[in-house]
Amino acid sequence: MSTIIFYEVEDWEVDYLQKNFSAGTCIYSKQKAHEETNEQCYQASIISTFIYSELTREFLSKFPHLKLIATRSTGYDHIDLDYCREKGITVSNVPSYGAHTVAEHTFALILAISRKLIETIDRSRRGDYSLNGLTGFDLAGKTIGIIGTGKIGEKIIKLARAFEMKVLVVTRHSEELQGMEEVQAVSLDKLIAHSDIVTLHLPYTKETHHIINRENIKNFKKGSILVNTARGALIETQAILEGLNSDILSAAGLDVVEEECTLKEERELLTVEFLKKCDITTQLLNHVLLTRDDVLFTSHNGFNSHESVIQILDVTLDNIKQFENGNTQHTIS
């Protein structure tokens, strides 16, 4: 049986992991891997880390029996892949997680806006049961514009069709949409101009920076809704403000904003390490969008379901068990 060391584990992760391995086969540590000083640990054949462990050539060379690195993350730029290839060390990751979770959260925002849920609940709590100003609108028959059709975008399409919405998408993979009723691949300009609701599901890159900006916000359909549960910098903050102030946008549903700390992946938000480097409260305290009644903000909680965070551990565990059985999956190197 291989000796496995899990670094950068939170208490709740240890509780879950211990249920999946026999006693004595695993070591659990809250510290980063590169802070390891116990030479006995260097005999491990499998190590699992999160993104804050610096798995350099110098560090990895201390593990003469290392066969597998199972990172509990999508990203893997903390690992020296060249060294791993030289030494025949397999590296596996968690390619994606929380697709259902984020898609459902996106529609939670949309429904909260379309049915004026926050206003209705607030008014009822104050003992005011009048319905004046609380008239919402049906999603059925409306057009939703989905920018990006990766794993989350695919789920959004399915949910939108369940609500009997028409769907426009901006995608590089239009062939995958063939045969889908009421789903059409279009240009970004056409999507913006014809969608009642626009939602973003893209990674943040140089190419996607401010894909929604002060110029194209002017071309949105009058009274439309803008939703972002992906990355804050996909949208220029001033564009949201100008859209709302000019009544081009009737509302915005945001799980992310541009001024958030740099985030590699959502799982960071549940770690002590991220809280040390980023005071989110200070970052967002004076954000101009947060006090507006026409903005619904959920503070980057869209990924945070029990199923989503457990999925990361389950995929990692399966990566390890498959490797021990002579198979590999989700391999980087």
| pLDDT (tens digit per residue) in 213-258 | 999 999 999 999 999 999 988 999 999 999 999 999 999 999 998 8
Q: Tokens in use for 61?
A: 């060379």
Residue 245: partners with Cβ closer than 8 Å, 6 or more residues away: none
Helix (H, G, I), strand (E, B) or coil at 252: strand
Which comes out higher in pLDDT, residue 203 or 169?
169
* The pLDDT of residue 261: 64
Catalytically annotated residue among 78, 105, 201, 231: 231
Counting residues of the chain whose pLDDT is more than 70, the rounded percentage is 94
Residue 215: the pLDDT is: 97
Name the active-site residue from 78, 201, 300, 330.
300
Between 280 and 209, the more confident residue is 209
DSSP 86-133: HHT-EEE------HHHHHHHHHHHHHHHHTTHHHHHHHHHTT----TT
| Catalytic residue check, 231 | yes
Sheet with 90-92, side-by-side order of all strands: 26-28, 4-6, 46-48, 68-70, 90-92
Give yes or no for residue 260 having a pLDDT over 80.
no
What contacts 216, CB < 8 A, 6 or more positions away? Answer: 188, 189, 192, 239
Residue 265 annotated among the catalytic residues of the structure: no
23-32, 76-85, 258-267: which has the minimum mean pLDDT? Answer: 258-267
> Contact, 169 vs 188, CB < 8 A?
no
Q: Across residues 62-71, what is the average pLDDT?
A: 96
Give pLDDT, residue 24: 64
300 is catalytic: yes
Candidate list 8, 260, 266, 268, residue with the active-site label: 260
pLDDT reported for residue 291 = 84
Mean pLDDT within 176-186: 85
Which distant-in-sequence residues (6+ apart) come within 8 Å of 31 by Cβ?
7, 8
How does residue 277 score in pLDDT terms, banded at 50, 70 and 90?
A: low
Residue 181: pLDDT over 90: no
pLDDT in tens, 42-59: 999 999 999 899 999 999
What residue ranges in the chain does DSSP mark as E strands? Answer: 4-6, 26-28, 46-48, 68-70, 90-92, 143-147, 166-170, 183-185, 197-200, 224-228, 249-254, 295-297
Q: Which residue has the tokens 């350099």?
A: 56
Give residues with Cβ within 8 angstroms of 192, minimum separation 6: 145, 198, 216, 219, 220, 221
